[in-house]
Structure 1
Amino acid sequence: MEENENTFCPWCQTEIVWDPEIGPEEECPHCFNELSDYRSLKIAVSDGDNEVEDEEPASDVGKQLSNDDLWDDEPESEDAYREMVNQCMDTQLEAPDCAACRELMLFAGTQNVKNKHFTPVVPQALGVPFLSGPFEYHVYVCPSCFRVEHLLSEQDRKTMIDRLTLKKEQK
């Protein structure tokens, strides 16, 4: 890896600024992937008379798509995508960070869980389930890495807190 003061992670495309006294980072502080040349391919691409070297991450499991791979050389498509993501984000009350890349996630909808599809655990200390069906959770999708995450709905969070708090007060 070249020792620049600023570099971009080949996995999450986040700019990494490192302290010249400490030296370059060995792993990305955002996605925790290695930043060395290990798992990287250097590809020479001819662009007219110029030859450009491109560096793509390689993986044992499979190729991770970058945003450039998704847009087929149409930067205006990526700009339109980002603009619409930002507009959707502006209407959300809650936007959790993606666990993989720390990007804000888009609210995709609500999922209902019924009693017949959910078997609650009864902790010995509590004696009753702290979460029982039916309940709802919100589904979020990361617009960068497309990871899907679930978050208990606001009302069901309160119900869970009440159940755990009431049991403690009864002792």
Structure 2
Amino acid sequence: METTICPWCQTEIVWDEEIGPEEECPHCHNELKGYRTLNVTLSDNEEELDKELEQESYSSEGSWMEEEESSPRNQGLTSLPSLGGQDTDLLAYESAIGKILETQDQMPECPHCRGYMIFTGQNSVGVGGYQPVIPAGLKHSLLEAPIRMNVYVCPSCFHVSSFLTDEDRIRFAGQVQKAGQINED
């Protein structure tokens, strides 16, 4: 048996003498026989070449930065409005957001810009504001009023999301489990 080392993933490939050598690496699926080496010959004037490479790297970085700035993740807050006649500092704002996020146990991701959201409080919905629905095949609703929700705000795009509190999540899970047991009977 002969061994070959894949030039792409550096994996040792053992092949049977009866079957012959592999044409494709079984690990990375790259072509083994078509491995090609690129030889670059430098001209006498290496300084010009270095300058050209430097300019290319700057231009490629610029396009990368433009892509990064136009991504959905960064389409949020770019400047703060002045409050009460005072200009607000975006850097100070971001620093304060970071300090607040450090103290949070949970940091849900914003569904719009994928930034971390800040817990701003709880919202209670009483009997008059929440109308439960009884799903088909069940005799009771899965969540009864009053319910409490944790409210989160995205500091970048100001999207607001709310989630059930831990107690109401447990209550909801219990109701779903009870509904599943009723349907099994």
State whether TM-score is above 0.5: yes
Q: Does 100-109 or 112-121 show the bigger shift?
A: 112-121
Secondary structure class of the residue paired with 2:123: strand
In structure 2, the residue matched to 1:169 is: 181
Distance 2:161 2:82 in 1: 24
Are the aligned partners of 1:126 and 1:164 in contact in 2 as well (CA < 8 Å)?
no
Give the drift of 1:127. 2.3
Secondary structure class of the residue paired with 2:89: helix
Q: Which of 136, 141, 148 is residue 136 of structure 1 equivalent to?
A: 148
Q: Which of 83, 107, 127 is residue 115 of structure 1 equivalent to?
A: 127
Counterparts of 1:55-66 in structure 2 under 5 Å?
Answer: 66=77
AA of the residue aligned to 1:132: E
RMSD, aligned CA:
3.0
Runs of 4+ in structure 1 over 2 Å off: 2-5, 68-72
In structure 1, the residue matched to 2:108 is: 96
Secondary structure class of the residue paired with 1:119: coil
Compared with structure 1, are the counterparts of its residues 89 and 69 closer, same or farther at alpha carbon in structure 2 (3 Å cutoff)?
closer
Q: Which structure has the bigger radius of gyration?
A: 2
Distance 2:160 2:133 in 1: 24
The structure with more strand, counted as a fraction of residues: 1
Are the aligned partners of 2:134 and 2:141 in contact in 1 as well (CA < 8 Å)?
yes
Give the drift of 1:75. 9.5
Are the aligned partners of 2:132 and 2:144 in contact in 1 as well (CA < 8 Å)?
yes
Give the drift of 1:145. 0.7
Distance 1:69 1:153 in 2: 31
> Percent identity of the aligned residues?
26
Give the drift of 1:131. 1.1
Give the drift of 1:7. 3.0
Distance 2:119 2:66 in 1: 28
In structure 1, the residue matched to 2:65 is: 7
AA of the residue aligned to 1:8: E
Distance 1:130 1:83 in 2: 41
Secondary structure class of the residue paired with 2:128: helix
Secondary structure class of the residue paired with 1:125: coil
In structure 2, the residue matched to 1:67 is: 78
For structure 2, the residue ranges without an aligned partner over 5 or more in a row are 1-58
> What TM-score does the superposition give when structure 2 sets the normalisation length?
0.57
Are the aligned partners of 1:71 and 1:78 in contact in 2 as well (CA < 8 Å)?
no
Are the aligned partners of 1:140 and 1:148 in contact in 2 as well (CA < 8 Å)?
yes
Distance 2:82 2:65 in 1: 23
Give the drift of 1:117. 1.3
